[in-house]
Structure formats: C-alpha cells, structure tokens
Amino acid sequence: MKKIAIIGGGVAGLSAAIYALRSGAEVVLFEQFGLGGLVATIDKIENFPSYSSVEGWKLASDMSAQAKALGLKTLRQRVLSLKKDGSHFTVITDKDAYSFPAVVVATGTSHNKLGIEGDFVGHGVSYCATCDGAFFRGKSVAVAGGGRAAVSEATYLADVCGTVYVVTTQSEFDAEEAALNGLLSRTNVVPVYNADISQIIGNDGDVAGINIYQDGKTRTLDVSALFVATGARPVTDFVNVDGVETARGYLVVDGRGETAVKGLFAAGDVTNGSLKQIVTACSDGAKAGSFAAAYSATVKED
C-alpha cells in the first residue's frame, strides 16, 4: 500500500498531500502549528493564478479543506528527528515514533528577524519584496540588511516604489559587484550605512516610519513599509539521514523533488530551488507528493 509522511503544513506540504491522496496514498502530515504555514500570515496575495487578490488565510484554509476532504490525516506534533532504518524512514516526534517508506520534507525556511517587528508583520513589515512590494507602489520604503538578499530585494523595490532606503549595520554592502552596481545606479535608492533600526513607528496599526540609530544620533525615516532581508535559514535541523546533499543548507532535489536518498523527497522553500514563491511551492509539492506516493508502493516491509 502507498503510504507517505509529509513534514510541514504550508502550501508545499498541502500540495504534496493533495496529489499523493489523489493517487490513492495514505498520507500523514506532521505540523507543529496550524496548517497553512507562512502563507496564512500574509495579508493579501496578488500573484497566485486564478486570484486577482486573495487573503493568505483564505488560500491556506481552502487548500487545507481540500486535503482534509481527500482523507488527509494530520498530527500536531513537533518532529525532532528524521532517520532512515533499512528501507523505511523513522519520524521521531515529541510524542511518538512512526515508520514510513517515503517522506516529503516541506518545512520551509525561518526568516532572520530584527526582534522589533511585533504586530507590524503583514501591516507594513514584510520578508518578501516580490510578494508585497506592489502594495507600496510609489511610496517610500526601507530595506533592512546589507547582504545579497537585501540588494536583490531593494533592486526589485526600486522598480516599484518611490524612495528605497537600504539600511545596513555595515560600512558597505556584501554582494556581487554587478548586482551592487545595478542597485546603486538607481536614483531612488538611498544607502544608509553603519545604522541600526531601533524602532518601528506605527499609525493605526500600520507602519508609518522607522527610527534609525547612526553616528550616535537617532533619526526618523518616513516610510510606509519595512522589508527585512537579513537572511533566512532552511528548517532542516531534524534531518538526520546519511547521504542527503545540501546547498547553503537547502535540500538538493532533482526534477522529481527527490533528494540523493531514495524515498526522501522535499518541496518548497526548504529546497535549493531558485524562486521562493507560493506557486512554485505548490508545483514542488505536486511533484514530490506524486513521486513519493509512487515510490512508497515499491518498498517492501523490512
């Protein structure tokens, strides 16, 4: 019988579940928190096919309902370790241990945070310029960070927003020369070096500005949004399987979503895919869920 485990309940995990369930597999999804992942925290989504605009919680809720209607079993447990014993994988949680012939890892990434975001996340504070930049078209915004991610985010925003302040604690940006030159050539980009963002200023619950501490003084930048681009890390600490290949911590997969270890698949932002978007996470999930289900049918009991 086809049987797989999915670790992670975001859109990649839910897509994997839907496709695996439709192929006749028994699916158990492990999610420490509620289904939907980071998507459920996004205020509005305007780049998902078939929707001109949809609230993140609505998209996540619809996908969850679809998977549950197909027979998805969910376990609200924290996965502590994933190991391979013989032909099967062992999923060890904070409550029990389970055995599966195939597993899909869809745990995404964890954004590095400033620690001052508070309730402004989704109300002017964002971790994705591609996702949310259009909401601030023509307005002044700030980007926090001085590395490759910050340069990329700021470059995208420079084509959409008014003034783009790029605030870094460093004395210069740490990015490829071509990308950096492309950013600094924009007339609406203002680098702010050797500065810390000390406070987010709000107006009726939305971002209205930020305070920065620079050269021993505090000053205010009037911005409508703050894009935090201080990096992110893939959530893979629990993967204890020999032979898994990674690239900068992300799980390396082939065109089917399979890692270098047979039977272990991955989908969404946790993989080495170049575009971290909802639609690509869904695509990854569809492939990983389908091929994991098919693989599980070929595995004999130990």
92 confidence band (pLDDT: 50, 70, 90): very high
* Lowest mean pLDDT segment, chosen from 35-44, 124-133, 243-252, 277-286: 35-44
Let me know if residue 179 belongs to a domain: yes
Residues 137 and 211 in one domain: yes
Q: Is the pTM of this model over 0.85?
A: no
Most confident of 40-49, 72-81, 171-180: 72-81
Whether 235 contacts 108, CB under 8 Å: yes
3-class secondary-structure state, position 211? strand
Count structural domains, the chain.
Answer: 2
CA distances for 146 relative to 76, 183, 234, angstroms? 37, 12, 20
Report the mean per-residue pLDDT for the chain: 94
**What residues contact residue 7 under an 8 Å CB cut-off, 6+ apart?**
13, 29, 30, 79, 82, 91, 103, 104, 105, 106, 107, 238
Among residues of the chain, what percentage have pLDDT more than 70? 99
Helix axes 11-22, 56-69, angle to 10 degrees: 20
From 228, 256, 285, give the residue that closes a domain: 228
184 confidence band (pLDDT: 50, 70, 90): very high
State yes or no: pLDDT of 279 exceeds 70. Answer: yes
Six token digits for residue 50: 């078939």
Let me know if residue 216 belongs to a domain: yes
Let me know if residue 302 belongs to a domain: no
Structural domain for 104, as ranges: 3-111+232-296
Taking the C-alpha atoms of residue 75 and residue 124, their distance in angstroms, rounded to an integer, is: 33
From 172, 201, 228, give the residue that closes a domain: 228
Let me know if residue 39 belongs to a domain: yes
Taking the C-alpha atoms of residue 238 and residue 226, their distance in angstroms, rounded to an integer, is: 32
State yes or no: pLDDT of 254 exceeds 80. Answer: yes
Instruction: Look up tokens 């700030």; give the residue.
Output: 142
From 200, 228, 256, give the residue that closes a domain: 228
Residues 192 and 128 in one domain: yes
Let me know if residue 301 belongs to a domain: no
How far apart, in Å, do the first and last CA atoms of the chain sit?
14
